[in-house]
Chains A and B, each alone.
Chain A
Amino acid sequence: MGSDKSSTSIERRQFDTLIIGAGGGGLRASLQLAEADLNVAVVSKVFPTRSHTVAAQGGMNAALSNVSPDNWHWHMFDTVKGGDYLGDQDAIEYMCRAAPKAVYELEHFGVPFSRLDNGKIYQRAFGGQSQNFGGDQASRTCAAADRTGHAILHSLYQQNIRAKTHFFDEYFAVDLLKDDTGRVLGALVFNIHDGSIVVIEAKTTLLATGGAGQLFKTTTNALINTGDGMGMAMRAGIPLQDMEFFQFHPTGIAGRGMLITEGARGEGGYLVNSDGERLMERYAPKAKDLASRDVVSRAIAIEVREGRGCGPNKDHVMLKLEHLGEDVIQKRLPGIRQTCITFLGIDPAESPIPVFPTAHYTMGGIPTNHYGQVVIPVKDTPEEPVQGLYAAGECACVSVHGGNRLGGNSLLDILVFGRAAANHIISYLKENKYHRGIDDEIIDKIVTKVKRYDGTDNRSADTVETVAMLRAELKQTMESHCSVFRNKEILKEGVDKVEQLVKRMENVRIDDQSFTFNTAKVEAFELENLMACALATIHSAYAREESRGAHSRTDYTERDDKAWMRHSLYSFENGLDYKPVRTKPLSVDSFPPKPRVY
Chain B
Amino acid sequence: MNSEKINPEKFRWQCRRGMLELDLLLNNFVDKEVATLTQQQKQSFEQLLSYPDQTLLDLLLGNAVSSDPSVAALIQKIRSVSLD
Contact = CB atoms under 8 A, between A and B. Distances in A.
Contacts of A52: 18-19
B18 A516 contact: no
A514 B9 contact: yes
Contacts of A164: none
Interface in B23-62: 23-24, 27, 52-54, 57, 60-62
A168 B10 CA distance: 17
Contacts of B13: 46, 170, 192, 517, 519, 522
A184 B70 CA distance: 50
Contacts of A192: 13
Contact of A517 (B12, B54, B62, B83): B12
B53 A150 contact: yes
Interface string A93-135: 0000000000000000000000000000000000000000000
Nearest to B10: A517
A342 B17 contact: no
A444 to B, nearest CB: 28
A342 B16 CA distance: 20
A193 B62 CA distance: 32
B19 A222 contact: yes
Contacts of B63: 334-335, 338
B53 A516 contact: no
B46 to A, nearest CB: 14
Nearest to B22: A222
B32 to A, nearest CB: 16
B2 interface: no
A223 interface: yes
A261 to B, nearest CB: 13
A49 interface: yes
A49 B16 contact: no
A339 B24 CA distance: 12
Contacts of B19: 52, 54-55, 222
B9 A258 contact: no
Given A147-B54, A150-B53, A342 B12 contact: no
B61 A519 contact: no
Contact of B9 (A335, A342, A518): A518
B67 interface: no
B48 to A, nearest CB: 14
Nearest to A256: B24
Given A338-B63, A342-B83, A222 B54 contact: no
A557 B18 CA distance: 36
Contacts of B27: 223
A154 B21 contact: no
B61 A219 contact: no
Residue of A55, A154, A343 with most partner-chain B CB within 10 A: A55
Contacts of A46: 13, 16-18
B52 A224 contact: no
Interface in A338-355: 338-339, 341-343
A183 interface: no
Interface in A419-454: none
Contacts of B12: 517, 519
A483 interface: no
A519 B9 contact: yes
B45 to A, nearest CB: 15
Nearest to B50: A47
B8 to A, nearest CB: 9
A545 to B, nearest CB: 34
Interface in A490-548: 512, 514, 516-519, 522
Complex A-B, nearest 5 residue pairs according to Cβ-Cβ distance, in ascending order: A54-B18, A517-B9, A338-B61, A150-B54, A55-B19
Given A50-B16, A222-B19, A517-B7, 12 more contacts: A46-B18, A53-B18, A55-B53, A150-B54, A153-B18, A223-B16, A223-B27, A338-B61, A342-B21, A516-B7, A517-B10, A519-B12
16 contacts: A46-B17, A49-B18, A52-B19, A54-B17, A221-B20, A223-B16, A223-B20, A224-B17, A224-B18, A257-B20, A338-B62, A342-B21, A342-B79, A516-B10, A517-B7, A522-B13
Interface of B: 7, 9-10, 12-13, 16-24, 27, 52-54, 57, 60-63, 79, 83
